[in-house]
Amino acid sequence: MIRRLIHCKLILPFLSVFILAACGGGGGSAGGSVGQIDGTNAANSAPTILGAYSNTQVACCYFEPNNDYFSMEGITSIFTVSASDAEGDSITFSLSGDDASKINISKKDGVNEAVVSFILAPNFESPEDANSDNIYSFNVIVSDGTLSSSQTFTISVTKDTSADTASAWDGVLLKNDAYKPYDKYGTSYNLIVGALPDVTDGFATNVLNIANKILASNDATNSVNRDLLLNNFNQYNAFQRVGKTNMSSYDPALNNDNYAGWDNINDNYSVVDFIWESTYSSPADERTKANQINAILEHLLHTITLIFDKSYTSWGYEDESSELVLAMNEAITGGFYNPSDNYGSLSDSDPALYKRIIAQEFAYWMIVTGWDLKALYAPDASPEWTIVNASEMEIKLPLAHTLFKDTVNGVLVNPTQAYLDSLSFSSLVSATDVANGPSFLVSVAANANGAGNVYVIDGTQKKSITLEVGVNYIFNHSTDHPLRFSSTPDGTHGGGVEYAQGVYTYNPGRTEIEVHSETPTTLYYYCSIHPGMGGSITISD
């Protein structure tokens, strides 16, 4: 099962997930940092800090040797520190350090204890610590008037998500500049999905609906673990980016100079990579329904498991002893997972990034295989991942099977083949549609109105033709006169360039064109070898 943080009295979803905390005392022999003693005196010894404890269950104690505390924004009183003096001298408490000016320490009457509080309640969105990272660092100093000792403490302020409700996306795409440049978006169980302006509403809707399926609860749900994940979507601003075709297809390029807000999302939200809507400009192998579904599953799971990494100790991407890394190494050693072909160059240039990427990829393969979706939507992944289904994974990769069963099943839900197959993608055109599209038989004849040869369509030389948006057309022509398209009369012979978006040449005598909403309203067909042979094309809605 998922190993969660050990903490006092209360399991709270907002808690940081990078630390296994030990509750109770700290300091001195109780496990706190060693005090720095100013001076020595044979007849006197410096007072010592015994430990500290939380002032409220909401800021539940995380007390490690490093004296690190965590508290939600809006809370002032954080912890109480206790001290003692071997000679029974009166003890005073004071503060020093980078963020001491933001902290107050107040001694309690009659005891050697002092309450540590924020002077002003912290705001997660407007940190006031020296590094503006919501981690306040300071020293607590105890003194008997002659000698003193100190320990360093930190308080990490976390986002208050108590008022947030983690619910399914309601089916309404919001369209405003809240997450610019992503102008259409929705939130599924606290995971924000934002799409760039050129992404179709239908595709953004499909992504959000799949997220709804994956993040929903069912009879197998472990509510504590799921709540931790969903609240950490808020805590770490999880954001799934959606674009069209691929990164290099954008002109102007995707950056902050051309798309205001680009850096803000990348810098202040937890992002991994894009889900790309396949289009006529995508590689042919990406333009199938199965591959489009797999692209959505893969990158949604990359984003979701990024927050797994921040939520569960069993899922540490860079922790060699985590259950995820141990399961991944089992797969690599067994020859069932080989990421080196795709990411091997990073192992030397950026080994830390390499570790994260291959663990992230392994997590995706393990989950889709555990759901028995791998063979359906990613059948050609070999040699990176060779396990075909859940039964094979159980036999050959017992660590992966156990991690999937004990971790994933309690938090995520299989979206199912039946649901995924029911989705439609308007930007995809099936191979059947292309093969059965209208066709033109293009012949060649001597020019009746001049020199040379010309194309003949339906008995008319250089015929002007009309093509409709949403239809795919096939031109069968002479191999000696390859037919091409351009937005300039006579194409490359007229000083223009070849138009190639959605145009496919499957053999020298067959050219196909997909007419879509972005096809120029006027095109020209021409021979790529001989000038003056073609005619005009009008694109009609």
Q: What would the pLDDT profile of 276-303 be if each residue is shown by its tens digit?
A: 998 867 887 788 889 999 999 999 999 9
Query: Are 346 and 385 within one domain?
Result: yes
Once rounded to an integer, what is the mean pLDDT over residues 57-81?
A: 68
- pLDDT tens readout for residues 133-174: 899 999 999 999 999 999 999 998 887 765 556 899 999 999
**CATH (domain of 514):** 2.60.40
Q: Is the pLDDT of residue 182 over 80?
A: yes
- pLDDT tens readout for residues 216-275: 999 999 988 999 999 999 989 999 999 999 999 898 999 999 999 999 999 999 999 999
Assess if residue 209 is contained within a domain: yes
Assess if residue 245 is contained within a domain: yes
Q: Please tell me the predicted confidence (pLDDT) of residue 23.
A: 30
Q: Please tell me the predicted confidence (pLDDT) of residue 285.
A: 78
Assess if residue 412 is contained within a domain: yes
Query: Which of 422, 456, 489 is where one domain is finished?
Result: 422
Assess if residue 362 is contained within a domain: yes
The CA distance from 472 to 503, in Å, is: 10
Task: Name the residue range of residue 503's domain.
Answer: 431-540
- Total domain count for the chain? 3
Q: Is the pLDDT of residue 435 over 60?
A: no
Query: Are 336 and 232 within one domain?
Result: yes
Which of residues 46 and 472 earns the better pLDDT score?
A: 46
Those residues with Cβ within 8 angstroms of residue 427's Cβ, 6 or more apart along the chain or in another chain: 200, 203, 277, 278, 279, 280
- pLDDT tens readout for residues 228-243: 999 999 989 999 999 9
Residues 522, 488 contacting (CB under 8 angstroms): no
Q: Please tell me the predicted confidence (pLDDT) of residue 163.
A: 54
Query: Are 278 and 413 within one domain?
Result: yes
Residues 80, 114 contacting (CB under 8 angstroms): yes
Query: Which of 422, 446, 466 is where one domain is finished?
Result: 422
Q: Token digits for 54?
A: 């939380």
Q: Please tell me the predicted confidence (pLDDT) of residue 501.
A: 85
Query: Are 230 and 359 within one domain?
Result: yes
Q: Are strands 483-486 and 522-527 parallel, antiparallel or unpaired?
A: antiparallel
- pLDDT tens readout for residues 14-40: 333 322 223 333 333 333 334 444 545
The CA distance from 373 to 415, in Å, is: 9
Once rounded to an integer, what is the mean pLDDT over residues 324-352?
A: 88
Query: Are 305 and 390 within one domain?
Result: yes
Query: Which of 368, 392, 422 is where one domain is finished?
Result: 422
Could you tell me the pLDDT band of residue 507, with boundaries at 50, 70 and 90? low
Phi, psi of 399 (to 5 degrees): -70, -40
Query: Are 440 and 414 within one domain?
Result: no
Global pTM value: 0.59
Identify the CA nearest to 224 among candidates 70, 369, 12, 472.
12
Query: Are 303 and 388 within one domain?
Result: yes
Query: Are 299 and 334 within one domain?
Result: yes
Query: Are 445 and 520 within one domain?
Result: yes
Tell me the average pLDDT of the chain: 86
Query: Are 456 and 526 within one domain?
Result: yes
Q: Please tell me the predicted confidence (pLDDT) of residue 3.
A: 41
Query: Are 506 and 383 within one domain?
Result: no
Cross-strand pairs, 238: 270
**CATH (domain of 64):** 2.60.40.60
Q: Please tell me the predicted confidence (pLDDT) of residue 244.
A: 93
Assess if residue 175 is contained within a domain: no
Query: Are 389 and 505 within one domain?
Result: no
Assess if residue 308 is contained within a domain: yes
